Chains A and B, each alone.
Chain A
Amino acid sequence: MEHTNEKFLIRLSGVTKTFPVASGIFHALNNMTLDIPRGQLMAITGKSGSGKSTLLNIISGIDKPTHGSVVVDGVRIDTLSESELASWRGINIGVVFQFFQLLPTLTIAENVMLPMDFCNRYPAKERRPRALALLQHVGIGDQADKLPSALSGGQQQRAAIARALANDPPVLMADEPTGNLDSQTSTAIFELFAGLARLGKTVIIVTHERDFASYFENTMAMADGKMVTELSHA
């Protein structure tokens, strides 16, 4: 997949996502057009039900838009098949979940190696050293061979971030990554994300936490499936 040097890494135009519900059709995203620049730490905020998670799902190809197009790094993803999407996502999007979602029977290092295995990236011999380096980077190099259950919540989330970075994707996204963590630990996690953005990753985070607004270069507020504050494209 070719990397373009466009200013905007992610471009949504006229994206609508509807769900059939008992009372008719529900618009989770309503004709959204959005350009997200490269290398930014960006926040998406909004009330519950405003469509934040839906937006992330559309960008990562987990959901397909009902109307409109999604282009990420020059690739139009809304037309890819499920299996094309799987390997595309594995390489281009690093996802961090709210509940960490480390696989319980694999060690921390193996959890990090798993995406490389699925996407067949990096020679097999280099995978473990790479996983260890990533774990070192997120600050838990000494936990590599433990099982997830032996780690604290903050450590697990760091491991999950290392796993999201496994295939060196340009985009990192996290849906309320600190929702389950105390504020001190949350600060550390946000600092980690900010550092990754400085290294050139595009980091999109859905968060309710107002205390960390200062970390973000850009904040987008959503309501009823629409953007209510424009992004500053400075």
Chain B
Amino acid sequence: MKTRYKKVMRDLLSGYAKNAMLVIAMAMGVFGVGAILGGYSVVKREMTANYMGTVPASATLEMEDSLKQGLIDSVRQWPGVSQAERHATVLARMRIDDKWFPLLLFVVDDFEHQRTNIARHVSGEQTPPTGTLLVERTAFVVMHAQEGDSLLVKTRHGEAKALKIVGTVHDAGLAPAWQEQAGYGYITLSTLRALGEDGGFDQLRILVSEHADSRDHIETKAKEIAIALNARHHGVHEIQIPPPGKHPHQSQMSAVMTIFVMFSFLVLVLASILVGTAVATIMVKHVRQIGVMKTLGANSRQIAVMYLTMVFALCLVALVIAIPLSRVAAAAFYDQIAVLLNLEIRDASIPVWVVAVQVFSGIGIPLLSAAVPVLRGSFISVRKALDNHGVGHRPQQQLSWTMKMLSSWKFAGDMFPLAMRNVFRQRSRLAMTLGLLAAGGAMFMMALNVSEAWEANLSRIYQQRLYDVEFRLNRLHPTDTLLAKLKSIPGVTHVEGWNSAAVAFSKGNKGVEVTRTYPDKGHGSFSMQALPVSTQLLRPDITAGRWLREGQANEVVLNQLATPMLSSVALGDTVSLTVNQHTTAWTVVGFVEDVGTPATAYVSIEAFAKAEDTAGKSNVLRVAYADRSKESTVKNNRLVEALLEKENIGVDATIPVWLLRNAIAGHMKVLVNSLMAMALLMAVVGTLGLMSTMSMNVLERTREIGVMRTLGATPRKIRSLVVWEGVSIGVMSIFLAFALSLLLSAYIGSFIGHMAFRTPLSLQISIVGVVAWVAMVMAGAYVATLYPSKRANTITTREALAYE
């Protein structure tokens, strides 16, 4: 090895404690980048592979009546159509531990030859015999059941019947059942009949053979077919075209991941700034050595290369440590996300470009950050280098007013003013340390703030919904006497009868409405809720305009998910809404936010009754209880259900508000947790920054401390000097971090909120976060000063004075 590189290596090893800190900081950055990018790249690839693997139908045509096989065969011959399949989706209920839960039943025409939205066979029977069902693998948790168990199932028209679970499937196009708090079952038509339903396959799924990714093309094809079917007296009342080729959670996933990727790079950038500052210190410390080497014949370029090599070596060590660890973390990360998205990771290989990005950014960013001090230090003239006496920046001539003021604070003993002066001696380093700590603290507090805001928003679900349970009835029922009877049940405080119907914005295409609904009927669905205007059970936040007024005027209020379904809509606009093939014009009078509700158009029940001829009838009952706890709700539900049964009123689904809350919470919890993990990385890098600053500050002043010792300063005094210095930097950073965290929380909160609810999260300040961060910084500052102050005290006076 060349002698000069020997010097580089020895210099590196001689300051190993400090260098180890730099390596750890950089390793964290590289680790974060690798874990996030690695996890994300696998999830993204597998998400598409899984979803496309199910052969998602380009469009689903909802029919008025059931489809014959012959018709399917002729649709299959349609030009531009490569596949056609008939299907039915039935919303039923299943009984688990004495409670009824929603159960989506998918009626499959031919299990052996599924053509679209394929539920992949995992275990057990391929085709469930009559009286049995297959279950989606994520639904077992919800059902508290396993293969071989029986499940009590009740459809709208039939009696409750026990179905045996005979097999397991994986349906990658569905969100995990536990997230939706619903069951997913797969049955044959004969099982549906056995459950007491006489309907048949009323869905026609088609696959276009060309331009499969063009929504417009799919729409054109689907409409052609719909018109042809209508002509043959097969009514099509809705065309569902989910975003082509896109997993239901794809855009949310990309958005969250973008934030994570940004944060992980931020950790690396901050670590690199730490490296840059450390290198700047080394360059100042080595200035005389640089002068000597230049006198011996070294040119500036050779010197620069030496010091950049030093940084490079540190980067390499960081990479060697971080890359393998990041791959382990990436695996854990994609496993978690896979569970969240109901993905089956078939190819777990992390793409090579992830490592390439780690290597390039893990070397490039620190080198870039170190380049300025290295070049400045290397291109210094020999003369200046030899003249420079170590620490030397321009000595301060006068104390600034801040210093004077700080110096007058005597409360902390006589070391405090001196400590404060030391804090401000290296301004750029101070700025860097403050920046690091502030960024770390800001992200840490932001993560806790956002997580608290998330919880708060979830509790808005309770504040906006003053009812505790929604009963979806099997059909319209007269409500005049029913409501009074329900109200008389002890524990029930209020009951309202509403009307709910699937709705679509009409674009004037002859009765056939095109929606973006996915086959699970939740993602992308749009419903009209007709309710008493003076409802006591719903308090959505009005964001513009006003709430509905009494009367039969065709007024509509749109919620935050309904609004974006139209390209533009403003107060006072008239929108055409189609319900049951019947289009009516409505005037938009307000916009509201209601957390956790799918796209909804709210109208007055009188106006709805006039338009749809449903006066005095409801298909939804919303009931409020005096005690809103889950336990009490479950108990009360039974009383209500008993009464409904006595009145001969069929219930399709019972949806308690707590269930809804859990379903929404399940969607995002992992992401909030990942945010916390990133914040922790930042916090550690910030604390490392404080540590390294402190050790640099002390190291640099070894001589000065030696002099102070000779002049009689006790080790205690020296120690309190160093501790005060660290603590005051910590305190300053806390204020900065707090201010910054508010900005960040608002931004990230609005981002996550929009993704989850289409409304920003409210700004919350997590007291726990603030206290935890203050404690962490204080403990960090204390620990960070332990070693330097010990060192300051253990070196002998002679050593200190000889130190250069």
Contact = CB atoms under 8 A, between A and B. Distances in A.
Contacts of A62: 295, 382-383, 386
Interface string B380-392: 0111001000000
A106 B297 contact: no
Q: Which of A60, A103, A127 has the most CB of B within 10 A?
A: A103
A222 interface: no
B298 A86 contact: yes
A177 to B, nearest CB: 14
Contacts of B2: 117, 124
A38 interface: no
Interface size class of A (residues with CB under 8 A): 20 to 34
Interface stretch (A1-9, A22-30, A41-49, A90-98): A90-98
Interface residues of B, number: 25
B300 A105 contact: no
A119 interface: yes
B299 A83 contact: yes
Contacts of A163: 296
Given A110-B3, A113-B3, A83 B297 contact: no
Interface string A173-214: 000000000000000000000000000000000000000000
Nearest to B382: A62
Nearest to A131: B3
Given A62-B382, A101-B292, A103-B289, A118 B7 contact: no
B386 A118 contact: no
A95 B299 contact: no
A231 interface: no
Nearest to B5: A117
B297 A63 contact: no
B379 to A, nearest CB: 8
Given A105-B11, A118-B302, A86 B383 contact: no
A115 B386 CA distance: 17
B45 interface: no
A150 to B, nearest CB: 14
Interface string A104-136: 011000100111111100001001000000000
B288 interface: yes
B381 A106 contact: no
B14 interface: yes
Nearest to B14: A105
Given A105-B14, A106-B6, A118 B296 contact: yes
B427 interface: no
Q: Binding site of B, secondary structure by majority: helix, strand, loop or mixed?
A: helix
Given A101-B288, A117-B3, A60 B295 contact: yes
B418 interface: no
Given A101-B292, A118-B4, A167 B297 contact: yes
A83 B292 contact: no
A115 B383 CA distance: 18
B10 interface: yes
A126 B301 CA distance: 25
B73 to A, nearest CB: 83
A30 to B, nearest CB: 19
Interface in B1-31: 2-4, 6-7, 10-11, 14
A95 B300 CA distance: 18
Interface of B: 2-4, 6-7, 10-11, 14, 288-289, 292-302, 381-383, 386
18 contacts: A60-B295, A62-B382, A83-B299, A83-B301, A89-B295, A90-B296, A90-B297, A95-B296, A103-B289, A105-B7, A105-B10, A106-B3, A106-B6, A110-B3, A110-B6, A110-B7, A117-B3, A119-B297
Interface of A: 57, 60, 62-63, 82-83, 86-87, 89-91, 95, 97, 101, 103, 105-106, 110, 113-119, 124, 127, 163, 166-167
